[in-house]
């Protein structure tokens, strides 16, 4: 059976991590502040070329302010110019080696470019720079997940879930458990999602798959029936139910299911202005 994957939307909803420009003391820094402020307004309106121009002027006016480099990098990212974004975030790190925002921003771009090893390294630096952050753990967990380092992804998701329960995080952790064949833990996470969102069809369908892998076919059928009670025409649920019935009747079933990929980047968490 062909398993339908979720689409890969890295930045479907772009939420810029723009940082407020520092208040200047000298004329050039005052100019940088004005350029930075105007650049933020342009970026909010997705006027990327204008934002790039303004943030570029802010960088020239005050090149030692990391926030100016960060904002320019974010504008490049918004414009889809990822190579320039990476270089500009690197400039911010050169100006301020422990700049949390620059590491997170560059890590997000590396992730979007599927350079997971580099992304993981950047998120690790961000966590060292700001140990109480949760956003960097979320991003690093996602990079681990895409890099098939499932146990490390689980460790990071554990940290995130201690801060706040989140069905999306439970879903990704369940996916990781599934891949390392810790099926009971995957079922626990899908069950928690269902408890919070009883009409979540994907959670029922995913849990039915795990039940199948465990050989608990009746429970898998029950989950398919739940989906069909909400959506009688659901083809996926019908096909899965038929396969589970074949298992019970000891008839050759269709191939063993594999988990659908979790390829959607976590929502970007705004970093408080400095």
In this predicted model, what pLDDT tens digit does every residue of 149-200 receive, in sequence order?
A: 999 999 999 999 999 999 999 999 999 999 999 999 999 999 999 999 999 9
Residues 14 and 264: their CA atoms lie apart, in Å, by 13
Domain count, the chain: 2
* Euclidean distance between CA atoms 87 and 71, whole angstroms: 12
Three-state SS at 93: helix
Residues with Cβ within 8 Å of 227's Cβ and at least 6 positions away in sequence, in order, are: 201, 204, 205, 234, 236, 237
* Domain final residue, candidates 108, 133, 158: 133
**Worst-scoring range by mean pLDDT, 99-113, 221-235, 239-253?**
239-253
99 pLDDT above the threshold of 70: yes
Domain edge (last residue) among 133, 166, 182:
133
Mean pLDDT of the chain: 87
Residues 206, 271 within the same domain: yes
């Amino acid at each position: 059976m062909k398993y339908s994957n979720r689409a890969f939307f890295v930045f479907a909803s772009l939420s810029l991590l723009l940082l407020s420009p520092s208040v200047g003391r000298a004329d050039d820094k005052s100019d940088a502040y004005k350029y930075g402020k105007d650049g933020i307004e342009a970026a909010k309106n997705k006027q990327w070329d204008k934002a790039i121009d303004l943030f570029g002027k802010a960088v020239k006016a005050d090149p030692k302010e990391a926030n100016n480099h960060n904002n320019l990098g974010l504008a490049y990212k918004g414009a889809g110019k990822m190579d320039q974004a990476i270089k500009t975030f690197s400039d911010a790190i050169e100006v301020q080696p422990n700049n949390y925002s620059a590491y997170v921003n560059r890590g997000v771009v590396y992730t979007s470019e599927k350079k997971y090893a580099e992304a993981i390294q950047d998120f690790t630096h961000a966590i060292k720079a700001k140990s109480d952050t949760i956003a960097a753990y979320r991003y690093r967990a996602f990079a681990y997940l895409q890099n098939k380092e499932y146990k490390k992804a689980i460790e990071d998701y554990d940290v995130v879930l201690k801060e706040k329960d989140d069905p999306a995080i439970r879903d990704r952790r369940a996916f990781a458990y599934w891949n390392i064949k810790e099926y009971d833990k995957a079922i626990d996470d899908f069950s928690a999602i269902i408890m919070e969102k009883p009409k979540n069809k994907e959670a029922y369908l995913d849990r039915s798959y795990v039940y199948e892998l465990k050989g608990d076919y009746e429970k898998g059928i029950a989950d398919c029936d739940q989906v069909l009670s909400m959506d009688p025409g659901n083809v996926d649920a019908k096909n899965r139910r038929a396969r589970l019935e074949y298992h019970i009747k000891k008839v050759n079933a269709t191939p063993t299911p594999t988990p659908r990929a979790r390829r959607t980047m976590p929502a970007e968490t705004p970093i408080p202005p400095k």
